[in-house]
Structure 1
């Protein structure tokens, strides 16, 4: 069972006129288990050709798990992410100074594992993909413990690390189209002991520039590692136009948040999502708050 499937027990559905009952204890949405043994991902047989692979997201199962989906009706979580995405989209469309990073590169991170960053990154990507004027690329940049494909019930695929390692992959070879026409996914790919150096390389800078500028309507969402766990998140943050910090209500300490923010102080746009917050008096309803 994926983390997303477990998330359904974590999110209480709103009841008009009265708070919902206290949800049963469940694992945090974004708890990350110890990393599995490295998976050897074979290159495609025809090395010079684009794979142009399309994957099927089980939208019904995502909806059952409490996720945002394009075909679902109005829901509390859909409304919450509609509010969250609006400022991010506005900033993504603003023209930056030449020295600034592209505002359509948005990194979602947290201080520590288990605060809900992957859950928020997936929901944010799907919510923005529901816009009429934008396409979205969701990048699994948590290269040490990739979870996007696993949470979506999909098998490992070549990804961004294989491009950076020069394994004869072009980014078009590893980008996955989905049955949501405006949403594509770029997996993490192979693990590597020098992941930080690869993410800080000139090859990565060129790749980010290509992702940011190839399509004028594209917004790129990166699910990054936690800031206090690895150095990869800090390297990524330095190259992002916007950073979204996910903070778990009543769990994330003030000290952890201060330490995390100090590591990304140079970023031009830092935003906070207060996740798993008890929204109503009595503490019966979970919600998401953006600032």
Structure 2
């Protein structure tokens, strides 16, 4: 397997947590175009609040978190842009997961999306695919909204109806939407495969970051991870057991591009940071 790893900061002591389609799966109004603040799909993010919570924000200065996620995103973007013999199928679809809950995957997914949105020639769609326990909107200070599950459950709901644009022009959000007891089957369905192919191929400059459920707790994660081009697995330092990490990696060993973020390690007293690396 080809994979990567480096470092990122987390000042917060409690992390806040990657083909042709039928008409209902149209994503024409997705990430990429300039946000219209008068649109019913526009949401204003409180960037000052996010910065105080240790998140990467535009114009937030050269913080340790921002610098670390600049390092983390680079090999992911390189893989996403690869062409010819090095091209990765769905390389622009990046899922962020973990072995267990509470390891910081949502924090990492949001920061990764925020950092990618700073690229000069990229747009990013942040998808909350942790449909059993969605938290992306909560982290961003937004109320629950219709989203991914609503598109999969109702043919009359289009992606353009549920994608939220933000005051960060290059960042859009797809919420998890309503909960459903058949979430695993929906995420593994042909409808989801068509939707992912549509999202992956519609815009050449779009990166899609999925916040996934933990691998060892839910079956939804496996249905999702198997359809992604790149996997980022967050591991909490000094908490997650080696057995849990190995078991999680074993379950996704068919994925060729797995990256690890070693979360909440300490470089020296009082300075938290992330370690990022490839897994072979």
The alignment's TM-score, normalised by the length of structure 1, stands at 0.82
The residue that corresponds to 2:172 in the other structure is: 184
> Given the superposition, is the C-alpha separation of residues 187 and 97 from structure 1 closer, same or farther in structure 2, using an over 3 Å criterion?
farther
Residue 79 of structure 1: how far off its partner (Å): 0.3
Whether 1:155 and 2:155 are equivalent positions in the alignment is: no
Q: Determine if contact 1:52/1:173 at 8 Å carries over to the other structure.
A: no
Equivalent pairs counted in the alignment come to 249
The match for 1:289 among 272, 275, 278 is: 275
- 8 Å Cα contact 1:112/1:226 also seen in 2: yes
Contact 2:80/2:88 (CA < 8 Å) preserved in 1? no
Any conservation in 1 of the 2:149–2:176 contact (CA below 8 Å)? yes
List gaps (5 residues or longer) in structure 2: 1-8, 18-28, 30-38
Larger deviation, residues 115-124 vs 149-158 = 149-158
Q: Which of residues 204, 214, 229 is equivalent to 2:192?
A: 204
> How far apart are 1:96 and its partner, in Å?
7.0
Query: Which residue in 2 is equivalent to 1:270?
Result: 258
- Inter-partner Cα distance in structure 2 for 1:117 and 1:67: 13
Aligned to 1:219: 207
**Structure of higher CA gyration radius:** 1
* Shift in Å, 1:71: 1.4
Question: Deviation at 1:98?
Answer: 11
- For the structure 1 residues 130 and 98, does the alpha-carbon distance in structure 2 shift closer, same or farther, using more than 3 Å as the test? closer
Paired position in structure 2 for 1:125: 113
Q: CA RMSD in A?
A: 1.9
Please name the residue that 2:218 is paired with.
230
| Matched ranges for 1:80-95 at <5 A | 80-95=68-83
TM-score (ref. length: structure 2): 0.85
Deviation at 1:101, TM superposition (A): 3.1
- The 3 A distance-change label for structure 1 pair 99 and 216 is closer
Distance (whole Å) between structure 1 residues aligned to residue 57 and residue 189 of structure 2: 35
Quick one: which of 84, 88, 97 aligns to 1:109? 97
- CA deviation vs aligned residue, 1:66-94 (integer Å, no higher than 9, x gap): 11001111111100000000000000111
Distance 1:66 1:82 in 2: 15
